[in-house]
Amino acid sequence: MSGLELFAAALGVIAVWLTVKQNPWCWPIGLVMVLLYSWIFFEVKLYSDMLLQVIYAGLQLYGWWQWTRGGDTHHGRQVTRLGNATLARDLAIGAAGSLLLGAAMAHWTDAAQPWLDAALTGFSLVAQLWMAQKRLQCWPLWIAVDVIFVGLFLYKGLYLTAALYALFTLLAIQGWRTWRSDPLLCP
């Protein structure tokens, strides 16, 4: 555990807590966190996770815009549910991306866990996109991904990050409960 990992973890807790509260400040704080974690994951050879953090940086900006200027009235998005067709399509894209990234990481890098890391990356991108669009289904996907991340980070000796993702799991459960009870939840 390093001071950098501790700082990044603290920012992560703040960012996810603000997300649960639907506070748009979650996005700039999250941006700093993902940039720090890109370096941390590079150091432990979790290259798919490193790339994920770089992509998250762009998604943090997208989410910040969606939450503050998106939606029909350009005053921010409301929580909505995905339709079954969109849900299935996005999960299929996540699976296909996971397979492609896993093959690339297994073939061209010395990645520690190329297939698992790639799968977590693919589905995390789907969850992050859904979160930026305030889709209710982001939370169950985050719960599943975060639980698996806990095991991966324990395996890699990133104990503070594993604890952070365990906390993310609890926050995702709270986010799911909170967003489901949002009086403005759109069908």
pLDDT in tens, 142-155: 999 999 999 999 99
pLDDT in tens, 112-134: 889 999 999 899 999 999 999 99
Task: Give which of 120, 70, 68 is closest to 95, Cα–Cα.
Answer: 120
DSSP-based three-state secondary structure for 141: helix
Predicted local distance difference test score (pLDDT) of residue 171: 94
Tell me how far apart the alpha carbons of residues 17 and 22 are, in angstroms, rounded to a whole number: 9
Tell me how far apart the alpha carbons of residues 160 and 11 are, in angstroms, rounded to a whole number: 13
pTM, rounded to two decimals: 0.86
Structure-model confidence comparison of residues 29 and 72, the more confident one:
29
Tell me how far apart the alpha carbons of residues 143 and 139 are, in angstroms, rounded to a whole number: 6
* Buried-state track 1-11, b at ≥16 Cβ within 10 A, e below 16: eeeebeebbeb
Run of H or E residues at 72: none
Q: What is the mean pLDDT of residues 21-50?
A: 91
**Over the chain, what is the mean pLDDT?**
91
Predicted local distance difference test score (pLDDT) of residue 137: 96
Predicted local distance difference test score (pLDDT) of residue 187: 62
What confidence category does residue 15 fall into, taking pLDDT thresholds of 50, 70 and 90? very high
Tell me how far apart the alpha carbons of residues 48 and 42 are, in angstroms, rounded to a whole number: 9
* Buried-state track 142-152, b at ≥16 Cβ within 10 A, e below 16: bbebbeebbeb
Q: Report helix angle 138-155 to 114-132, nearest 10.
A: 150
Q: Where are the domains of the chain?
A: 3-180
pLDDT in tens, 76-124: 788 899 999 999 999 999 999 999 999 998 999 888 889 999 999 899 9
Tell me how far apart the alpha carbons of residues 183 and 114 are, in angstroms, rounded to a whole number: 42
